[in-house]
Structure 1
Amino acid sequence: MTPSLLMLLPFGVVVAVGFLFVRMASREIPKRQRSRLKEALDALDPSNDPEPAEEQAWLQWPSRWIAVSGAKPVAVRNALDLCGVQWCSLAEGLQLASEDRYFISQHVKDWVVVFGRELPDPGSDPDHLFRFLSDLSHELGTVQYFCADPVVGEHAWIWIEQGRVKRAFAWSGSTVWNQGDLTPAEKSLGVECPGYGEESPEDLRRNAMARYNVDRVHQLASKWGLDPGRLTRSLPKGAQGIVGKRRLQRKSQP
């Protein structure tokens, strides 16, 4: 055997070993891929969801809601002055709330949750939002308002007791309402609450802040009282809420 062929032998051994490893890996990878694909398909299969209708309703939930502590659903209905009321399931109520109705849930841990696209928008008129919540609080006591719109980044959390603002922060491209001291829950979540005119001049920085805050609104709601995401698992099976339209705008109390 010539010296040149002897020099090529080690290289040939390396190539052969590498080929064997590739063959073994090519057989193993499809097995893993098939296993992962099956897991993904099983997760997407509605038949594996114990409550598919209620869970799908989550996707329809409006971006704004109110939580009321210590009041009965009927009292909340009266305070909102709803007309054409009827009883319906959570899934049906959330669908109607995404149109032009208000939906009032049953009690969950002493809280009643109100959903509705017609709830005041913090960015359009903060003064109107304050009057609306203050009126409700005068009648119902503890009222909390939340907004989390991931599309435009608008967000808000407001806590009112007996008509008085305990804490309020609302953002709609800039800070439109900031009142009261940061609560321990806000501090623990690390949300940013710039004062009036203190926003970053950089669009990327403002957008990042808005996304961060929006992603934590439900966690804040849970720390303050109740995350509405618990409704689908906390309400008794077949529980119904109240749905109706608001009759008129009520005069604010001085």
Structure 2
Amino acid sequence: MGSWKDHVRARLRQRDQTEKVPHVGVFTSLAQLEERFEIRKQILDDVQSKSLERGGGDTRCLHLELRESEHLADKLSQTVSDLAAVLHVKEAELQYWQSRVSQYRQEALQLAKGSKTLKVTLSEFEYTIECQSKELSALCAEHKRLKEALAQAWSEKEKLLQRWMEEKRVEADRLNKYNDTQERWRRLAKQLKKHLLRKMGKEYVPAGTSSCSDTTETSPSVIQIILSSGIKTTTNIHPGQMGP
């Protein structure tokens, strides 16, 4: 608030130095000239009255004094008119500067109010920024924690995946071995069946005189003997000697 007042005072002092100070002695000179004019006028009146009483005198001298007085009166009237014009201009300038000062005062008040509002808004923004910075710090910490948890989860996932794949591989190997074993036993059983059928066809050829009832009664026992003998012979066979 003090800066604009100082600026206005400085401008007014500068105006006084350039416009008012040079004309300070004019008013004194004007008063002195008016006083001289009044004195000369009185003297002229006295001289004219005395010349009329004498019936004529030094008319030439009086005429010169009259012309001098008229000239001085013209100069004084011109000076007075000039001073009046200058005074009128100065009064107009003074009114103009007073209006400008009033305008500047209003603008200064408005700027002060705006500055106060801006300060309040700035304090609110600072508080908001502080709150947001705290929230950002908390979010960064939470993000870091979640990132670490995500990395740990990915690591556990990779471990579980590797373990699952290992278990599946072991299970697949075991299943393949089981399937291979089953296939070998199936082939072995087929070979044994063929072998037993050939052996049964050679040893137990049915006689022409035997009846169907005898063949029916003796066939189960014969099959059991063949299977028992076949099982005994197969137990002696090593799995590596079996064909595919």
Q: Which has the larger radius of gyration?
A: 2
Could you say which structure has the higher strand fraction? 1
Select the structure with the greater relative contact order (CA < 8 A; seq sep ≥ 6).
1
Name the TM tier (shorter chain).
under 0.3
TM-score by length of 1: 0.24
TM-score by length of 2: 0.25
